[in-house]
Structure 1
Amino acid sequence: MTLFRQLLALILLSLTLSLAGALWLSFDNSREFLAEQLTTDIENASVSMAGALQPHLDPLQPVLIESVLKAYADGGFYQQLEVRLFGSELSWQEQRTVDFHGVPAWFQGLELLPQVERSVVLSSGWLQYGELTIIGHPGMAYRTLWQTFIQMLSWFAALTLLLVLVAAMGIRRILKPLQQIQHVSDQIRQHQFDQPITLPKTPELRSVVEAINQMAQQLQRDFSESDQRQQQLKDQAFRDPVSGLGNRRFFNQQLQAWLQQEPRGVLALIKIPSLTQRDQQSFVERDKAIARASQLMQQRCAGVADAVLCRLGLDEFALILPGQSIEQSRALLEHQQQALLELFASTELPVWIGACWINHSGSVAEVMARVDQALQHARSDNNQQVQIHTDSREVAQRSELVTMLQKAVEQGAVSFSKQPVKLLGDQQLVHYELFARLEFPVGTLLPAASFMSTLDEYELGLRFDQLAIKLVLAQLEKDPGQSVVLNLSAASLKSTAFQRWLALQLQQHVDVLPFFGLECSEETVLYNKAAVISLVQLLREYGVRFGLDRVGRNFSSMTYVQQVRPDYVKIDAAFTQSLVASPQESVFLTSLVSTIRALSIQVLAVHIEDEEQLQQLSHYRFDGYQGFLHQPEPFFSNTLQHGEKA
């Protein structure tokens, strides 16, 4: 029982006993008064009736005696009237049935009022003729006493209710600081720190609140320092101090991780000779020029989800554009070149960009050789200083792909596979992550990585997310019991109508929501934080799990994780894949995992492909893992005939 209820019960019990005692005394006084009143009425009636009967006794007039008895019996509250003559067997009697008129039997059975009986001798002078016996009728007294009891009970109930309300309000006001302490304690447990609690006037509670406020402030400082430490470790290991971009080490990790994930997109090298010329100037001026160029390129890439921009050397930068089409990449790279030329217009030096289209896995060395070749072509071709090497068949198949995607989305021809996410140690299943593939009439299965950029380019991403959610929820209705998670695209979060649509879907499938979850990437959160926070609030109302993917990929503070409060996060694959190859990175990874775990958020590793990597995880406090150590398996397929619609 809560402290509030204990105090309320104690106060209510004390007040109830006091009030019940006072009301009982009042009720008992009323009972005694009615008993005395009943006795007095009988005594008065006996005297009056004796006087009325006396003239009819000598000479004896039976008819008049009987008339007097009837008159008194009909006009008063008497149960029995009897006249008995001495020395004779003559007697007259009038009886009336006792009717309590609405007084319950249990109340009558309490015998709160005595039965009043009075006998008087009928005489004339010294001569005694007989005896008059009167037994009172308690019906009226019981009715009066019952009405008094009901009124007192009503007052008792009303006063009790009033006392409960007043006591509850008073106790709540007194205990408000304790409620705030409980709320703040829950937030502290989750590493959420709001405004400090207002100090109460009660001295005992004031000292407690001061201690809680100081503890919250200290924990906030500790978390901020922990976040800063892991950020510093990450900057030292993976960030170029001059440009603020990722360094070559970070680039190699990201490129290797991307190439192992069914890559589809563009990799580019950007050469800025103007920065080399500035090597003849002061280091300060050169560093300022590098910082300006880096900031400019970051701004141009801000709208590209999952883009990775790194500085590889003095005048060389690398750019990974996952999911971007050839046309999208060419337009972006040409804008990059034009902006850089304008920035360094005074040097009159060119900007060379070499890129290659990647649509299959490969080694880092092989891909870098292709990109370097494209860069050399850009340097040797003054008319085309932005070179993108690609297979000519890719361009020819572009329009065909768009048509096929539109038809597949329209018909709902989607297939899903699932990959388990398990806890370390007991290997308990956390959930399955679902991977979508579009099915075409010719039997081709196209993975999501191959078409998501095209969907976004042609504004089909939102429709695809809605289709996937509807199909998965419908499948869970048919076969519940498997916890599954779907990835959301940035297009859905940018849509103001998506959350309203999602709320309606969740309302229609309440029974299966414990088995359903959504997740999105870190980049999506950073660029759509308000929308993601609103989405998380909606999902929590319906008990739907939410997770973040690729956490740690960007050079951003973990405060966004604290604000979003996901149920779990997945550390970027580039870090987990390098555990075995680069044990020296363990300091940063340990700090990152510890910072997130301090928020009571589950931390998962991804792309775990062998037992060696799995063994390494136990040293870094990961909660669970996912990867090709457990191969994806079919979940369900929604293959429809041509012309049908989902």
Structure 2
Amino acid sequence: MNKKVPRSITLKHLLLWFTGLLMATLLVVNFFLNVSSARDYMQQQLSSHAQDAATSLGLSLSSVIDASDLVAAESMIDAMFDSGYYRHIIYYDVNGQAKVLRHASMKIEGVPGWFVDWIELNAPEGQAAVVNGWMQLGSVSVVSHPGYAYKKLWDSLKVELVWFTLIAAIAFLVMQLVITTILLPLRRIEKQANAVRNRDFSYRAPMPKTRELKRVAIAMNSMSDRLGKMFSEQLSLIEHLRAESFHDPITGLGNRAEFDGRLKAELESEQSVAVGSLLLIQLSDFAGYNQTYGRSSGDELLIELAGAIKSSALQVADAFVARRSGSDFSVYLPGVVDEQADKFANDLLHKLSGLHLVKQMCRNDVLHIGVASTLAKISLPMFLSEADMALRRAQAEGPNGWQRYVSGSDFATPGDAVRQANEWQKILSDTLAEKSIIFHYQPVYSGDRSTIIHHQVLSRIEVNGELVMAGVFIPMAERFSMLADFDRLVVEKMIERVDGGRFDGKLCVNLSVHSLADDRFVAWLLGTMEMHPLAAKCFIFEISEYSLQLADEQLEKLVAASKRLGYQVSIDKFGVAAVPFAYLQHLSIHYIKVDHSFIRDIQNSRDNQFFLRSVLQIAHGQDIQVIAVGVEFEDEWQSIEPLGIDGAMGYYLCRPHEHIE
């Protein structure tokens, strides 16, 4: 069980407590000094009052009575005693015998007993002689009654307590206002620090009026500017180096090295399913075009061709395009086979043939496309060779056209024939209706392999007694607009697993770009996460970097809600979508998963090693964890581990399992 971290006291509360305690101490000391001073004053007044009364009574008795006239003495003593200010008055004769005695009880009205005991006034005795000429007749003794003094002190105490409380309350409110005003710049500086932590370098702390805090604000603003500049420079540098290494400088597409590396990873990696089509596109007599119209016009033609090919490829998720050399281009369409690939090639041919600069060549035999498809793992040289043979056949036909490579064994996988579209639609519909999707889980290990960061959720469906991987049925689900339904089913199944107490770790669920672009799905997902707060904390929603090009607003909405709802967000296939890395600066991403094409044979690629090292530096500066995908050989692991990778997954580390270990 996690120990509860004690809350630390704030500077504001500390200052309020300190100044409040100091003020209360001063007021209390002042109060007690006032009470003590008043007590001493009353004590002196009682002494003076008793002595004055005794002197006055002695003179009065001396002038009007003689030693034997006790009636007159009693009358004068009674007149003075009845005023109520005396505890006792006694008239003694010359022998010390009390002739007249008047005594009052110590009863004090309206004053608590504890106050009397606390103050404890001692009423002194006042004495005076009674004489007739030079003859002493006797003496009088007077003791003042302290009740009046107690009453005056008690009333004074109550008034002082009221003023003390009022002054303390006003002073506390004033102190709170003053301290809040003084510390407000610190709140703004804290807000700026949080903004920097969240990769927002645009916030500027206002200048405080106090000199010390003003210097802190200036330093924070300067630091924010410098960090923002450094981050932008790092992003620009890595994008520039990536463009230098993997991009064609004229068209902006990937170059041959990048394309072949990604295609090899797709075809040969255990992490992916080799289902897709390869298109080789060639514009003939490009050298003649350059000689006729000039090199600048030739570059414009290449750019126009590249733009048309790229816009067509954007219709297929995770498709990638490259300029191989001269006027040769290549396109890989993952998950697209059969009549879909044929339709894509036919539409692309018509689109390219209708370009203005292509028509300028005034020839209808310059554009040709070769298509090769696969449903099983195949080597890169073999796949390129098949597409190239199809291209040569199209060129041999003469006019603008396309051809597909056909072989008896190319369109079948072991134990699985090519299914027609209506058959696939029924299989997928039945799977959704019966919720019969099957899950495998692949662990993602930390950089030192000591712990499991999370488990990747991999979907499977059963077809004719065999498990079919997501790479096979997902393209068909996309074709029939069922991806959002499948993603919803996966999320619901994982919530059932977590709420059922069968798992308490992290589960990484991949969301398709089609689901992310669906506002209804995003609203459902956020509502579901709000309804299941405990399960939400176990989810990592993984989005392809390709999604940033098509559903950036929905992705921002999903990321913005992650902090409130508790789930995390990961970017998959990082580095291959040709998306500027600036999104790392304003999106609070938790993980990025480097595409397996960068990990494949990384021990032999300095460019990929440098790319991964740069990504780690940038991501760690933004508090983002970097995970390598597709680690399938020991050499690859030995190459990425020293770089400080945060996590990795792949068949070398652990194969997928039906159960979470």
What is the TM-score with the length of structure 1 in the denominator? 0.81
CA drift at 1:122: 12
Amino acid at match of 1:349: N
* Cα distance between partner residues in 2 of 1:31 and 1:333: 108
* Cα distance between partner residues in 2 of 1:135 and 1:486: 91
* Cα distance between partner residues in 2 of 1:38 and 1:537: 79
* Cα distance between partner residues in 2 of 1:324 and 1:181: 53
**Structure 2 residue runs without a partner (length 5+):** 1-8
1:147: which partner in 2? 158
1:582: which partner in 2? 605
Say which SS state the counterpart of residue 609 (structure 1) adopts. coil
Q: Pick from 486, 504, 508 the counterpart of residue 481 of structure 1.
A: 504
CA drift at 1:620: 3.3
Q: Pick from 629, 634, 638 the counterpart of residue 611 of structure 1.
A: 634
Pair 1:396–1:417, CA change in 2 (3 A):
closer
1:363: which partner in 2? 379
Contact (CA 8 Å) 2:55, 2:128: kept in 1 or not?
no
CA drift at 1:211: 4.5
CA drift at 1:285: 1.4
Say which SS state the counterpart of residue 242 (structure 1) adopts. coil
Q: Greater shift after overlay, 491-500 or 539-548?
A: 491-500
CA drift at 1:142: 5.5
Say which SS state the counterpart of residue 312 (structure 1) adopts. strand
Amino acid at match of 2:202: D
Q: Map of 1:163-202 to 2, 5 A cutoff?
A: 163-173=174-184, 176=185, 179-185=187-193, 187-188=195-196, 192-202=200-210
Tell whether 2:258 aligns with 1:250: yes
Q: Pick from 343, 355, 359 the counterpart of residue 345 of structure 1.
A: 359
Contact (CA 8 Å) 2:602, 2:608: kept in 1 or not?
yes
* Cα distance between partner residues in 2 of 1:263 and 1:108: 99
2:562: which partner in 1? 539
Contact (CA 8 Å) 1:266, 1:320: kept in 2 or not?
yes
Cα deviations across residues 385-424 of structure 1 (Å, max 9, x unaligned)?
Answer: 3445684997753222222222322332222211111123
Contact (CA 8 Å) 1:416, 1:434: kept in 2 or not?
yes
Tell whether 2:442 aligns with 1:416: no
1:472: which partner in 2? 494
Cα deviations across residues 246-296 of structure 1 (Å, max 9, x unaligned)?
Answer: 111111111111123113333222233374652433222111100111012
Contact (CA 8 Å) 1:8, 1:171: kept in 2 or not?
no
Tell whether 2:454 aligns with 1:431: yes
Cα-Cα RMSD: 4.3
2:299: which partner in 1? 287
* Cα distance between partner residues in 2 of 1:436 and 1:535: 22
Contact (CA 8 Å) 2:364, 2:399: kept in 1 or not?
no
Say which SS state the counterpart of residue 528 (structure 2) adopts. helix
Q: Greater shift after overlay, 577-586 or 398-407?
A: 577-586
Pair 1:599–1:100, CA change in 2 (3 A):
same
Say which SS state the counterpart of residue 354 (structure 2) adopts. helix
Pair 1:67–1:517, CA change in 2 (3 A):
farther
CA drift at 1:553: 0.7
* Cα distance between partner residues in 2 of 1:148 and 1:523: 77
Contact (CA 8 Å) 1:480, 1:512: kept in 2 or not?
no
1:265: which partner in 2? 276
Contact (CA 8 Å) 1:526, 1:560: kept in 2 or not?
no
Q: Pick from 232, 243, 265 the counterpart of residue 235 of structure 1.
A: 243
1:459: which partner in 2? 481
Pair 1:122–1:320, CA change in 2 (3 A):
farther
Contact (CA 8 Å) 2:53, 2:126: kept in 1 or not?
no
Contact (CA 8 Å) 1:548, 1:570: kept in 2 or not?
yes
1:550: which partner in 2? 573
Q: In percent, how many aligned pairs have the same letter?
A: 22
1:221: which partner in 2? 229
Amino acid at match of 1:371: A
Contact (CA 8 Å) 2:570, 2:590: kept in 1 or not?
yes
Pair 1:133–1:272, CA change in 2 (3 A):
same
Cα deviations across residues 146-184 of structure 1 (Å, max 9, x unaligned)?
Answer: 4224313312421331232233133224xx1x5555554
Pair 1:207–1:149, CA change in 2 (3 A):
closer
Contact (CA 8 Å) 1:325, 1:453: kept in 2 or not?
no
Contact (CA 8 Å) 1:518, 1:546: kept in 2 or not?
yes
Cα deviations across residues 106-153 of structure 1 (Å, max 9, x unaligned)?
Answer: x555x2351546678999998769877664336634541442243133
Tell whether 2:614 aligns with 1:591: yes
Amino acid at match of 1:166: L
* Cα distance between partner residues in 1 of 2:168 and 2:90: 49
Contact (CA 8 Å) 1:308, 1:321: kept in 2 or not?
yes
Pair 1:426–1:439, CA change in 2 (3 A):
closer
Cα deviations across residues 566-588 of structure 1 (Å, max 9, x unaligned)?
Answer: 22211111111031343454334
Q: Greater shift after overlay, 112-121 or 135-144?
A: 112-121
* Cα distance between partner residues in 2 of 1:364 and 1:530: 37
* Cα distance between partner residues in 2 of 1:156 and 1:248: 82
* Cα distance between partner residues in 2 of 1:486 and 1:338: 39
CA drift at 1:544: 2.5
Say which SS state the counterpart of residue 634 (structure 1) adopts. coil
Tell whether 2:642 aligns with 1:631: no
**Structure 1 residue runs without a partner (length 5+):** 637-646
Q: Pick from 567, 582, 604 the counterpart of residue 559 of structure 1.
A: 582
Cα deviations across residues 357-393 of structure 1 (Å, max 9, x unaligned)?
Answer: 4333221133223333443454466899344568499
* Cα distance between partner residues in 1 of 2:220 and 2:617: 24
Q: Greater shift after overlay, 13-22 or 39-48?
A: 39-48
Cα deviations across residues 43-70 of structure 1 (Å, max 9, x unaligned)?
Answer: 999999999xx99x965999xx99998x
Say which SS state the counterpart of residue 419 (structure 1) adopts. strand
Q: Map of 1:508-523 to 2, 5 A cutoff?
A: 508-523=531-546
Q: Greater shift after overlay, 215-224 or 282-291?
A: 215-224
* Cα distance between partner residues in 1 of 2:659 and 2:459: 10
* Cα distance between partner residues in 1 of 2:113 and 2:339: 93
* Cα distance between partner residues in 2 of 1:104 and 1:409: 86
Say which SS state the counterpart of residue 658 (structure 2) adopts. strand
Say which SS state the counterpart of residue 540 (structure 2) adopts. strand
CA drift at 1:198: 4.2
2:643: which partner in 1? 620
* Cα distance between partner residues in 1 of 2:71 and 2:488: 113
Contact (CA 8 Å) 1:323, 1:453: kept in 2 or not?
yes
Q: Greater shift after overlay, 112-121 or 527-536?
A: 112-121
Cα deviations across residues 500-557 of structure 1 (Å, max 9, x unaligned)?
Answer: 4334433343345443322211111343333223322211223323221111113333
1:639: which partner in 2? none
* Cα distance between partner residues in 2 of 1:204 and 1:90: 80
1:322: which partner in 2? 334
CA drift at 1:329: 4.3
Contact (CA 8 Å) 2:545, 2:574: kept in 1 or not?
yes
Tell whether 2:476 aligns with 1:447: no
Contact (CA 8 Å) 1:42, 1:136: kept in 2 or not?
no
* Cα distance between partner residues in 2 of 1:133 and 1:45: 9
Q: Map of 1:122-137 to 2, 5 A cutoff?
A: 135-137=145-147
Contact (CA 8 Å) 1:270, 1:316: kept in 2 or not?
yes
Contact (CA 8 Å) 1:35, 1:114: kept in 2 or not?
yes
Say which SS state the counterpart of residue 539 (structure 1) adopts. helix
What is the TM-score with the length of structure 2 in the denominator? 0.80
Pair 1:558–1:396, CA change in 2 (3 A):
closer
CA drift at 1:314: 2.3
1:309: which partner in 2? 321
Pair 1:532–1:47, CA change in 2 (3 A):
farther
